[in-house]
Amino acid sequence: MKKKIIPLLVAGTALLAGCDQKAGTESATSSAPTVSKADAIAVVNGQYISKATLVELEKEIAERGHGQTFPKEKLIEELIQREILVQDAIQKQLDKSESIVTQLESAKKTLLTQADVQEYIKANPVTDAEIKAEYDSKISALNGTEYKARHILVKTEAEAKKLIAELDKGGDFAKLANKNSVDAKESQNGGDLGWFTAGQMVAPFSEAVAKLEKGKYTKTPVQTQFGWHIILREDSRAQTPPSLDSVKDQLTPYLQRKKVQTMVEALRKNAKVEILVKDEPAKVLDAAANKAPEGQPVAEEVIVEKVKDKNGKTVAEEVVVEEVVKDKDRNIETVPATNKPAEPPKVETPAAK
């Protein structure tokens, strides 16, 4: 696999343009800490660029570029070019323009928000006892049975009954699945579903599996929203919960979010807040029309943000709802998103993985 090269600012990339805003505005901000010559990597028109800025840039590139690195001299040149552009912008008094001042204030608030959350997490770390308690609460819900089954899925009841008749005559379930099942025609897996819990399947399917004896198949087709099933129960076993160590990395970030959420709710409760804009609920559109009349809200966009652990595995999902509104000139305005409370991560059993 070829390594993807991420060009520096001189080539116009957006990656480094977003890295370390603090470094890019170091000489533009009057409150920036004074840098001595001993702590600098370069000086541009009398302005020192700190060694800490270079370290931060290297860290940002490693994170955003998935471990990619650049020669140090290229990164130093990148920071020099930034400093030159910053000084040029200040000379043109762009730092005093209303749009730039607004953006800087917004960036400052974002950084302060992140810093406050990180400081709270640092001061209130998730303890082993809290992880154990959360683990025990999740594991208590896993006491059940896992099933191993195959199925043949067809579109009509008549097709299902015909296949059941062939099975009654000694037909091979896996071969019939490969030939007839909507699920197995291409995969040629004999309709194998592997191990699963009742909660992982739709109710009619789960109920039918639970009633079957080991090695038996349904004599009556089972209907679900997917079609008509013939189900063969191959085996069952007591559900085996994962170990605490195997799910600790999943539970820790979830508990951190819960702590932060509690902290924010407490601050909100004690804050003196006055809402000056009346909330006008958006009109619900007829979904069948599939288009919005001019001047009316057009949609609510539901975004599922995946929360991943250090190994890149999704451990939880947070739902964000954004109302998208179009005015009579068809301009788009996005109303600030509203986050629902974080859902607990699903603790998977080894068999479910």
For 48-97, give the secondary structure using H, E and C. EEEHHHHHHHHHHHHHHCCCCCCCHHHHHHHHHHHHHHHHHHHHCCHHHC
Domain boundaries of the chain, sorted by first residue: 144-238, 244-352
Residue with tokens 């349904």: 218
Check residue 32 and give its pLDDT: 61
Other Cβ atoms closer than 10 A to 185: 12
At 312, the pLDDT band (50, 70, 90 cuts) reads low
Under the banding of pLDDT at 50, 70 and 90, the label for residue 199 is confident
Q: At 193, is the pLDDT very low, low, confident or very high (cuts 50, 70, 90)? A: very high
Q: What is the pLDDT of residue 294?
A: 45
Model confidence at 342: pLDDT above 60: no
Please determine, for residue 33, whether its predicted confidence score (pLDDT) is greater than 90: no
The CATH topology of domain 144-238 is: Chitinase A; domain 3 (3.10.50)
Rounded CA separation 309/294 (Å):
43
Confidence at residue 183, expressed as pLDDT on a 0 to 100 scale: 84
Q: How many Å apart are CA 94 and CA 89, to the nearest integer?
A: 5
Q: Is the pLDDT of residue 349 over 50?
A: no
Identify the weakest region by mean pLDDT among 23-32, 69-78, 98-107.
23-32
What's the number of CA atoms in the CB half-sphere (13 Å) around residue 179?
Answer: 10
Confidence at residue 4, expressed as pLDDT on a 0 to 100 scale:
38
Strand partners, 197: 146
CA distance 346 to 138: 8
Give me the count of residues in the chain.
Answer: 353
pLDDT confidence of residue 319: 41
Share of the chain above pLDDT 90, in %: 55
Query: What integer pLDDT is reported at residue 282 of this predicted model?
Result: 55
User: What is d(CA 63, CA 145) in angstroms, rounded to the nearest whole number?
Assistant: 42
Decide which of 186 and 62 is more confident.
62
- 82-126 confidence digits (pLDDT tens): 999 999 999 999 999 999 999 999 999 999 999 999 999 999 999
Q: Does residue 341 surpass a pLDDT of 50?
A: no
CA geometry: angle 315, 318, 319, nearest 5 deg:
145
Residue in the structure block whose two tokens are 């559109």? 285
Q: SS3 for 217? A: strand
Predicted confidence at residue 283, as pLDDT, reads 54
Which residues lie closer than 8 Å to 202 by C-beta, 6 or more apart? Answer: 224, 225, 226
- The gap from C-alpha 149 to its chain's centroid, in whole angstroms, comes to 31
d(CA 109, CA 86): 21
The per-residue pLDDT for 62 is: 85
314 vs 210, higher pLDDT: 210
| pLDDT at site 166 | 97
Give the pLDDT score at 328: 37
Give me the residue label for tokens 């020099």.
Answer: 80
pLDDT at 30: 45
pLDDT of residue 141: 67
The lowest-confidence range among 111-115, 136-140, 345-349 is 345-349
Residue 255 has pLDDT above 60, yes or no: yes
Three-class DSSP labels, 275-340: CCCCCCCCCCCCCCCCCCCCCCEEEEEEEEEEEECCCCCEEEEEEEEEEEEECCCCCEEECCCEEC
Lowest mean pLDDT among 159-163, 272-276, 339-343: 339-343
Model pLDDT, residue 242: 83
Which token pair is 299? Answer: 């949609």
The pLDDT-based confidence of 21 (bands split at 50, 70, 90) is very low
pLDDT of residue 143: 66
Q: What are phi and psi of 89, to 5 degrees?
A: -65, -40
Model confidence band, residue 314 (pLDDT cutoffs 50, 70, 90): very low
- The CA-based angle 300-301-307, given to 5 degrees, is 135
Which of 181-185, 235-239, 279-283 reaches the highest mean pLDDT? 235-239
* pLDDT-based confidence at residue 291 (cuts at 50, 70, 90): very low
pLDDT at 352 over 50: no
Q: Which residue has the higher pLDDT, 304 or 252?
A: 252
Q: Is the pLDDT of residue 330 over 80?
A: no
